[in-house]
Structure 1
């Protein structure tokens, strides 16, 4: 297996028990909220990123604030209506009934004003929601687009040290968290603050005593909720840990289900699961029970506030200090006063979560990118080099296609500074030659292929294709010259034909069939329900060998001048391997082939074999020459031959 492949595969394996993949499950509602390391700096970055949306956000915030003001004024108008009606009802004055009339003109005038206020509140709130939903989705779309583009600009060094799950979480969980906060929490925060302050002002304006009574009841409720939150916090933490342990165990056992069955580990697996599941039950029950008290407690505090206001208001009304309408208004203001408290707390939690997600997203976007790519095309650069050497127009007929000459000129490379992997690697492959790289695991074979493809930048030396240094042309121009067949196969969601063609333009059905026939896959494909139009995916019912044959057919259809074969026959049986070798020999005609192989029997007909160890070429020559030298290669070959005979 290749060095980089082994790293990426190890990162995609299930995580150890007791751990959780980042972004796998967000914090549960009412549970522990992840906090950013630098809230202020991160939010400034988010504001700077969304600066083109700032005018729209400001408009939405103003609309929401004005709409909230309309909502706040409403109860005061209801007070006026109530007082007008009460003043018009019959009354007992000194023991005698006094008839009065209700001023319906005033009542109608106030009622229409009230309708206008609530209609304005509804309209302005709708406009705010529409603007914020549009802004949040556009911002999220822009972030996802930038993350996607950033992935293509990052060097493979980054992905060597970062799991696929982390990057996937950025595009899904983190960007969604940012979008939801922008769309909901930001507007809710502004309206909650406006509603809280406005309701408090209107309450004080109507009566100070009743306002202090309402505040006192609310403070008692806040204290009780704070106590519950402090007690439940530890149980939410335990629940998150237990959830991670349970998820990790299930994922681990599912991924290794065959091994568990083969080694009769079901009983131990069940015992471990029951342990984690019981821990999750205990912590989950306690945390959910305590958090479940919040809503009844809020309801109780709200009802207690109504009772307190009614009692105090009744006493004040009996003394003639307030009108009856003030009590009615306060009944509504109590709700408007207590409602924002929960919304405000939830909005702050969401902002914390948004900042934590933004910190990860912007941290990813700020990662160091690959070096600036060169400009121009391969054909243009080759023409310039040939003209400078006095060989103008020699390659005009080839266009953007390389002849296939490959030169490694004193190449040095290291994944980490001070720890060289490739040392002074020098080799030449003429167009049409088959070059094999062999050696023990970790010798640097796949690293050389990655350097040839310019997946990594060199520490020293040069790699040239047809005399053109790969650093002097765009990476995409380098990649056009290669077709690859790796040890790890890849089948995507699509038909068999689409999997074979992949991104190649202008491929005919006949070319697809010929490629599949060349690798011996045509009869199997024809046996599928819809033949070449059968839909496959990553869980398609194909054997490992059949997937490998499919990827080889894909390489044939690409028709690139240089082939890279990294253990291309490792997943097939001996008979299939022979068929593939015949197909590969036909495919290699007129093309440069660079083969990485552990089965030395597959590269006996190579034009040149480079024997690598510790990043250096220790032997080179043909199969027969290396066997006659009786050195490192001969020992490798003889040991494999002896094991086959045995």
Structure 2
């Protein structure tokens, strides 16, 4: 936990227990740079106050020139010098505020991103798949950007927004308290009208969002289904749904606007600089004519009264930015609070035998993080070194969940998973990933060169070793045909198909040379030509290794050493292809459903 005395920027762990220094996630996030943020705000406030010095000096110059008798030349020149000095000091303080605030912001962003990177490197890999990766991207980029705006811009601006009217009001009360009260009354009336206009805004904003969602849903429904709609002659009905949603939104928005427009317009008029200036100048002229005020008071209020209403024009947007930053900080804190996997006791796998003993697993429930319904219910399975074991069964049986456990995508909630005789929870992550490799349907490549993507499997590999792995994965010819060969960058001058990207991933695993492989239907989403090339590459990859493969098309695993049938989180049948057909159970039924000449049982989704 960092303290205000830290000399190096660090992010306090938002999820660490015992953190009492800050009550909110935003406070925790800003704790390491709190002192510099305050300094930036103070400097910006000083810059705003010093920015009034030239105006105040101008009023005092007018006072000196309008005084009876000869003008005090020395005083006038002193005021001119003070005005110039105030302008220079205001610019210097503003520049210093910007520098201090942005340096603090840079340190905050760097420390938060480093903390997130360290933390996410230790969370279960399964949490980063699907929507989890989107959460990480949002936290690392969008949410931190919201906090950046708060640190570098919003808080310093708020300091100036508060300081400038206070200083101006103090001076104006010293000049003429009657006109000062009039100025305050105008601002108070504008604020009251604005508050009235905003009453019920929370409810109306919720209705606004709901109406916009209805429009978006009906538009997407119409566009996505336009071919089917037109084919069956229902375009009028689909179009009417969109029209009704649009009309409902228009009616709601017009009603809301009509109810708030008078108060909003009145508020903006009362808080506008021209209105305040005209009002106080007219009042000043009247009080001067009556002998209640000095002529110079009119000059003072003409120059400084607009500063009283300036904050009202920006305070709403700044408050919204603070709320946005608070929500962003909460999301970052929630991500930093994601439970991490244990570091492991230092066990080292001895061999490539993988065992599942009484394995039970339930994904955490989204609401409270407690385990939800069990996906695996006591699985026992042994993968012998040098053999291929296939998992088959209907969708939702738990095949993918079971296959990810040797790579420790999740920790089991019951039983044990061992690799080379060591519990995977006791194996350090670096050592575990030297032993277990995986290829899934969704091939993931970095925006790096082809060579760098392959070398992720073994960072110290030579170019010759990288090219040898590419040849073994049946992707070398395609890579060599690229503009820069192995130096071509994915997404720039290397646009690879799904099957080609899959073979690059296989080359990566060949280079890593892990003794245990997990394959999740790597050919499910590719064309027949690519499938043949990938099957050849997988044959090379699986040679001499312990392989666990998830199969949806049973014909691809008929040669497996063992086929395990999963249903409802349990293994219900196990044996070779021939043995399971003779058994006449679930596997035989699935085989007949996939290979019958006269029917296709679409109800058996694998």
Deviation at 1:122, TM superposition (A): 2.3
Listed one character per residue, the Cα deviations across residues 353-386 of structure 1 (whole Å, up to 9, x for unaligned) are 322322332233233x12421143x5xx35xxxx
Per-residue CA deviation, residues 64-101 of structure 1 (Å, 9 max, x unaligned), is 3433443445444323211211126xxxxxxxxxxx43
- Measure, in 1, the Cα distance between the counterparts of 2:497 and 2:224: 18
Q: Is the 2:441–2:524 Cα contact (8 Å) retained in structure 1? A: yes
Cα separation, 2, equivalents of 1:456 and 1:311: 74
Alignment-derived partner of residue 414 in structure 1: 362
Residue 225 of structure 1: which of 183, 186, 194 is its match? 194
Q: Is the 8 A contact 1:232 1:287 kept in 2?
A: no
1:50 pairs with one of 22, 30, 45: 30
Structure 1 match to 2:507: 553
Instruction: Quote the offset at 1:180 in angstroms.
Output: 0.7
User: Residues 225-624 of structure 1: matches in 2 within 5 Å?
Assistant: 225-230=194-199, 239-245=208-214, 297-298=268-269, 301-367=272-338, 369-376=339-346, 381-382=348-349, 403-415=351-363, 417=371, 419-537=373-491, 542-573=496-527, 577-578=531-532, 580-624=534-578
Match in the other structure for 2:75: 106
Q: Distance in 2 between matches of 1:583 and 1:129?
A: 57
Whether the aligned pair in 1 keeps the contact of 2:406 and 2:436 (CA below 8 Å) is no
* TM superposition shift of 1:265: 8.6
Partner of 1:21: none
Q: Which residue of 2 aligns with 1:124?
A: 93
Aligned residue for 2:359, secondary structure, equals strand
In the alignment, is the contact (CA less than 8 A) between 2:186 and 2:271 conserved in 1?
Answer: no
Please state whether the residue corresponding to 1:195 is helix, strand or coil: helix
- Structure 1 segments unaligned to the other structure (5+ residues): 1-39, 89-99, 383-401
Contact 2:457 2:509 in 1 (8 A): no
Structure 1 residues 50 and 627, CA gap change in structure 2 (3 angstroms): same
SS at match of 1:453: coil
Residues 173-192 of structure 1 mapped to structure 2, 5 A cutoff: 173-192=142-161
TM-score by length of 2: 0.81
Deviates more, 1:596-605 or 1:218-227: 218-227
Q: Secondary structure at the match of 1:322?
A: coil
How many Å separate the matches in 2 of 1:305 and 1:45?
40
Give the whole-Å Cα distance in 2 for the aligned partners of 1:330 and 1:550: 73
After superposition, the C-alpha distances for 1:500-549 in whole angstroms (9 at most, x for unaligned) are 44453244445444444445444444555554444433997654444444
| C-alpha separation in 2, matches of 1:56 and 1:163 | 33
The separation in 1 between residues aligned to 2:201 and 2:374, in whole angstroms, is 53
When residues 296 and 216 of structure 1 are mapped into structure 2, their CA distance, relative to the original with a 3 A threshold, is closer
* Equivalent-residue separation in structure 2 for 1:45 and 1:486 (angstroms): 37
Change (3 A) 1:488 1:51: closer
Indicate conservation of the 8 Å contact 1:43/1:355, yes or no: no
Distance between the aligned counterparts of 2:226 and 2:427, measured in 1?
47
Query: Structure 1 residue 140 and structure 2 residue 109: aligned?
Result: yes
* Counterpart-to-counterpart distance in 2, 1:232 and 1:419: 41
Task: Report SS of the residue matched to 1:222.
Answer: helix
> Structure 1 residues 336, 579: closer, same or farther in 2, change over 3 A?
closer
Distance 1:476 1:279, change over 3 A: farther
State the partner residue of 1:12.
none
Deviations 1:465-489 (A, max 9, x none): 2212211111332122122221223
Structure 1 counterpart of 2:582: 628
The structural deviation recorded for 1:108 is: 0.8
User: 1:125-148 CA distances to partner (integer Å, 9 max, x unpaired)?
Assistant: 221222122223322333333334
| Farther-moved stretch of structure 1 (264-273 vs 41-50) | 264-273
Q: Give, in angstroms, the shift of residue 43 of structure 1.
A: 6.1
Partner in structure 2 of residue 78 of structure 1: 58
* 1:238-267 deviation line (CA, Å, top 9, x unaligned): 554444455566677888899889989988
Change (3 A) 1:478 1:255: farther
Partner of 2:405, secondary structure, is helix
2:181 maps to 1:212 = yes
Residue in structure 1 matched with residue 42 of structure 2 by the alignment: 62
Residues in 2 aligned to 1:428 and 1:305: alpha-carbon distance in whole angstroms = 83
Contact 2:354 2:383 in 1 (8 A): yes
Residues 67 and 125 of structure 1 are in contact (CA less than 8 Å); yes or no, is this contact kept in structure 2? Answer: yes
| Secondary structure, counterpart of 2:343 in structure 1 | coil
Query: Aligned in 2, Cα 1:120/1:519: closer, same or farther, shift over 3 Å?
Result: closer
Inter-CA distance 484–268: structure 2 relative to 1 (3 Å threshold): farther
d(CA) in 1 for partners of 2:463, 2:225:
39
Q: Is the 8 A contact 1:436 1:594 kept in 2?
A: yes
SS of equivalent residue, structure 2 residue 67: helix
| Greater mean deviation of Cα atoms: 328-337 or 134-143 | 134-143
8 Å contact 1:545–1:572 — kept in the other structure?
A: yes
> CA 1:312/1:412 → structure 2, altered by over 3 Å: closer, same or farther?
closer
> Offset of 1:442 from its aligned partner?
2.3
Equivalent pairs counted in the alignment come to 573
The structure with the larger Rg is 1
Alpha-carbon displacement from aligned partner over 1:148-168 (angstroms, at most 9, x marks no partner) = 433333335756895654443
Q: Is the 8 A contact 1:232 1:291 kept in 2?
A: no
Change (3 A) 1:370 1:309: closer
Q: 1:82, 1:129 → 2: CA distance?
A: 34
List per-residue Cα deviations over 1:16-68 (Å, max 9, x = no partner): xxxxxxxxxxxxxxxxxxxxxxxx99864433432332222333333334334
Please, what TM-score do these two structures have when normalized by structure 1? 0.77
Query: Is the CA contact 1:436–1:609 (under 8 Å) kept in the aligned structure 2?
Result: yes
Change (3 A) 1:565 1:161: closer
Tell me by how many angstroms 1:438 deviates.
Answer: 2.1
Work out whether residues 410 and 462 of structure 1, in 8 Å CA contact, stay in contact via their aligned partners in 2. yes
Question: Which residues of 2 match residues 143-158 of structure 1 at below 5 A?
Answer: 143-155=112-124
CA RMSD of aligned residues (A): 3.9
Matches of 2:163 and 2:474, distance apart in 1: 73
